[in-house]
Chain A
Amino acid sequence: MKVIRKPRYVDPSKCTGCGLCAQYCPVESIDSYNAGMGIVPGIFVEYQQAVPLIYTINRDVCIGCGLCAQYCEADAVDYTQKERTDVLDIGAVIIATGTETYDVEPLTEYGYGRYRNVVSSIEFERILSASGPFRGLVLRPSDGVEPKSVAFIQCVGSRSLVKGNEYCSSACCMYAVKEAVVAKEHLHGLDISIFFMDIRAYGKDFDKYVERAKDSGVKFIRSRVSNIKENENTKDLRITYESDDGKMQTNTFGMVVLSHGLCTPPSSSELAEKLGVELDRFGFCRTGEFTPLETSQPGIFVSGTFQGPKDIPETVMQSSGASALSSELLVTERGSLITKAEYPPKIDVMGIGPRIGVFVCYCGINIGGYVDVPAVSKYVESLEGVVFVDTNLFTCSQDSQETIKQKIIEHKLNRVVVASCTPRTHEPLFQETCESAGLNRYLFSMANIRDQCSWVHMQTKEKATEKAKDLVRMTVAKARLLEPLERLTFDLTKRGLVIGGGLAGMTAALGLARQGYETILVERENELGGNLTHIHYTLAGEDVQELLKSLRKQIKDEPKITVHMNSEITEITGFIGNYKTKIKDKDTGKESETENGIVIVATGGKENKPTEYLYGKNEKVITQQELEVKLALNSQLSTPKSIVMIQCVGSRENEKPYCSRYCCSQAVKNALKIKEKFPEASVYVLYRDIRTYGTKEVYYNKAREKGILFIHYDEDKKPIVTEKNGVINVVLKDPVLKRDLSIDCDYLVLSPGMVPQEDNETYAKMLKVPLNQDGFFLEAHMKLRPVDFATDGIYMCGICHSPKMLDESISQANAAVSRACTILSKDRIQAEGTIAHVDIYKCAACGTCEAVCTYGAVKVVENETRTGIERYAEVTEALCKGCGACASSCRMSAIDIKGYADKDIVAMIDNF
């Protein structure tokens, strides 16, 4: 594969990210990171937190004056760099090119581009950002005044058959609600209205967020806005819309935000053509419902919004999943490109007093221009324990590393301090240098005299110099106390345990086996399949029972998978890489014990049993799942004349406040099936919000085309169901006709949503991992780590995380495989160096540390010691992240963090 690398015109190995070049650059360009609302110099970094921090010249605006090259102390600017073509030898490709936001300018009715106070949601996002064009103040672009009211208009360029795209962009409802909440936080008393068609808060805990927004005063108005007019004098914007009671209303807003959807850019179709990958009619990558990560080209995978519009958690899941499928192909090559770092033997520092070497950096003029570096270095010489001081123009440069190495050996240094920039970017480099000289990497400490001193005290040079001395003195005080730390390593069992044999569990087990790892699959029922056993067809018409059959066969044929049917787990002990699991056969009561290195939880969920609307009292009242079985097995449904479906039954209200995500699509699917089998039948779907997100919207439109009637009801005006002489009657208020509708029906079909399995609680306790309020497992981070638990070595997938569609379960299961392989592919588990340590003679075994540890890394244990049976806290080194929550909570000061010990921090405090 050939890859074109565009030139940066800056040598990345030399650029220190100091930013001097940007200060002197005479030209400006539009800041695309701030949605065009700011300006950046011609030589720039995209945003402040960029890692690596390397500048790039924008040659579209660059006039080639050479000022940046002249001012660059590191000599990194190189105008002669050329576009480079690299030929890569690769075995798999993942396309993750994403989407663009829909261009709203052609939708003239919204006035975008004509009225300055009509902004896009991306622009508003940047306006709200502390690093944005207005530094986080909510201001109108027209006059820079705080608006009193803001309107959000949803579905701009989405869900439209006339203008824009037919599909739902999936993310806009939630980002609009988020922006509304943040705007209200930034500007108290701001009046916000969101104009929407359906609020699609279908994701995990999304509905709770919407409710919180409502509580904080954000108004939700169900109405599609047809146009916006600007008041020429005040630049306020007038919106006319139809209110709930059918009357036309006009409101004036200070600002309007257009929630524009996602669409694929032309460049992605060019890329698809080059790679020979098929696209669907919207320009998204074509994937199968059961192969959501595979493109039409074998070996090429896809993740993220290029596969279809989606939110962050699904994108993250898909990306991990795609990497699992790619590495499956490359399993024989695993680790073949790794070169192991070779280090000289460790210098023994025990019993020798501190011999500290301090390296003070000029950072060109970044430090040197504002801090008197020679004065600082002279002062440092006087500090206790310091035997060597040097200054460097750039301590981070390659030749400086050599110098540091030499000086360590020459002066027998056993502690190294670098006074330069931020440890966030440079600490690992210097630690590596120490290690290459034979010095333990934890005998290094860093003083930040650039970001925390020279850059922020430019006008007071003398005081800045004094502060730099203070900072170095504090760091040297800490360095005197540093001890070498070992990163402990542990054996690991290269075997996986998957709990639950539904779609997610089966997919995960197969994935692990294909990565080359033995896998134990535990299922509570007598057969594999879980919810798949009740599903017969998908929205697009795929045969689910065929999938089930094929999965069962693949598992049976896979020698690496051991299945325990009709079994439950009675005990899991141990930690990452080293679990011991007891599995009990429910029939025989026999227990077997196995060892495994990771755990994937895939316990699933089940359809809730409704208690309302005559369910269980009348056999014609059934759930969607029951209807699907009846539809699939033809004989079970007598020709119906009229069928009513009620959505959100016992769902999205008091006891179960969450949305189950799949029910709207399931209702549309079943309604279409009824129309296919019984074209004469009338089908009514009574809904609160139709949540056919993404390209599922197409089927919602198709259902409406076919004459299926969708009627909205409010939570407080639920339909009334009665039975008279065997006929079921449904009465509800029609929001369009403004009168009561009475429908007699042959079947009443309820969408009761999904509930978690009861044994989730047992497993949560066993694995010491949390559940959310609704009984689903709680991930480490809602957006960025949707598969991981906070505890390393345990992962989740499928409905036990939250209700989801088949393709999403498959993606998440593959993601869990990918995450598990990050552990299983290692030879040994390595713990961090800076971790908690317990002095068992001080420990009172109160358990506070255990209670505050998010990672389950500290436990109170009972052990026999020299003085008899003793209870004390014990740290599982492999799990500890060294945050220090335990150390600062310990009332006996018995637990401490190596490298950030109480004594280290106190030494800094005492020396400030």
Chain B
Amino acid sequence: MSRFQYPPNIEIVRVPCVSRVNPLFILRSLQHGADGVLVAGCYPGECNYSTGNLYARRKLLMLKSYLEYLGLEKGRFQCAWLSSAEAERFVKIAKATIESVRKLGPAKKLVRNKFNRD
């Protein structure tokens, strides 16, 4: 509704709740050529399914530090917590994510061979 503009190189995968996001999905995305992954969920405490986003937050933040330990650059995988009414905030986050991924250039870590750009 708000129609704030953001760059078009961000594709959206719909899930019922952020708690549906299996860490493997993020790995899969990176393997299949995504240069960055953003997981967006509701604010902690505002989950439609009571506690789903709390489990997701714990799991995803652990994955994040694990990926960084593996050598994936900081900023390739990000989590954001916001409300569906906050169009402007979403746009801000989307822009910031794209910007930080752009700075890092194409992803090389984890990418499967046929997608490997080296």
Contacts and interface: CB of A to CB of B under 8 A. Distances in A.
A884 B29 contact: no
Contact of A130 (B5, B19, B52, B88): B88
B101 interface: no
Contact of B20 (A48, A463, A887): A887
A458 B55 contact: no
A135 interface: yes
A790 interface: yes
Interface in B1-54: 1-9, 11-17, 19-25, 28-29, 32, 34, 48-52
Interface string A855-885: 0000000000000000000000000011111
A48 B49 contact: no
Interface in A785-836: 790, 834
A130 B83 contact: yes
A453 B12 CA distance: 10
Given A834-B16, A888-B21, A912-B34, A471 B11 contact: yes
B16 A910 contact: no
A565 to B, nearest CB: 36
B109 interface: no
Interface residues of B, number: 43
Interface stretch (A628-636, A641-649, A704-712, A901-909): A901-909
B97 to A, nearest CB: 14
Interface in B84-100: 84-89, 91
Interface of B: 1-9, 11-17, 19-25, 28-29, 32, 34, 48-52, 55-56, 59, 83-89, 91
Contacts of B16: 834, 882-884, 897, 900
Contacts of B19: 852, 883-885, 888
A773 interface: no
Nearest to A458: B5
B61 to A, nearest CB: 14
A889 B55 contact: yes
12 contacts: A48-B2, A130-B88, A457-B5, A471-B11, A781-B50, A854-B52, A883-B52, A887-B20, A897-B20, A908-B13, A909-B13, A910-B32
A474 B13 contact: yes
Nearest to A49: B85
A884 B12 CA distance: 18
A452 interface: yes
Interface string A770-783: 00000000001100
Contacts of B20: 883-885, 887-888, 897, 900, 905
A469 to B, nearest CB: 11
A136 B86 contact: yes
B3 A455 contact: yes
Interface string A456-471: 1111100110110011
B8 A909 contact: no
B28 A780 contact: no
Contacts of A458: 3, 5
Contacts of A451: 1
Rank and list the top 3 A-B pairs by shortest CB-CB distance, nearest first: A884-B20, A885-B19, A883-B49
Nearest to A451: B1
A448 interface: yes
A142 interface: no
B49 A854 contact: yes
A423 interface: yes
A694 interface: no
A834 B9 CA distance: 30
Contacts of A897: 16, 20
A828 B15 CA distance: 29
A19 interface: yes
Contacts of A474: 11, 13
Contacts of A48: 1-2, 85, 87
Nearest to B4: A456
B88 A459 contact: no
A131 interface: yes
B34 to A, nearest CB: 7
Given A883-B16, A888-B19, A912 B49 contact: no
B107 to A, nearest CB: 14
B117 to A, nearest CB: 16
Contacts of A910: 28, 32
Contacts of A852: 19, 51, 55
A466 B8 contact: yes
A884 B19 CA distance: 6
B14 A423 contact: yes
Contacts of B4: 456
Nearest to A424: B84
A610 to B, nearest CB: 34
B17 A884 contact: yes
A460 B13 contact: no
B8 A905 contact: no
A131 B5 contact: no
Given A883-B17, A912-B29, 7 more contacts: A131-B85, A455-B3, A456-B91, A463-B8, A471-B11, A474-B11, A887-B20
A884 B22 CA distance: 9
B88 A909 contact: no
A456 B94 CA distance: 12
Q: Which of A448, A883, A897 is the most central at the interface, judged by chain B CB atoms within 10 Å of its CB?
A: A883
B50 to A, nearest CB: 4
A887 B21 CA distance: 9
A780 B47 CA distance: 11
B6 A906 contact: no
A464 B6 CA distance: 11
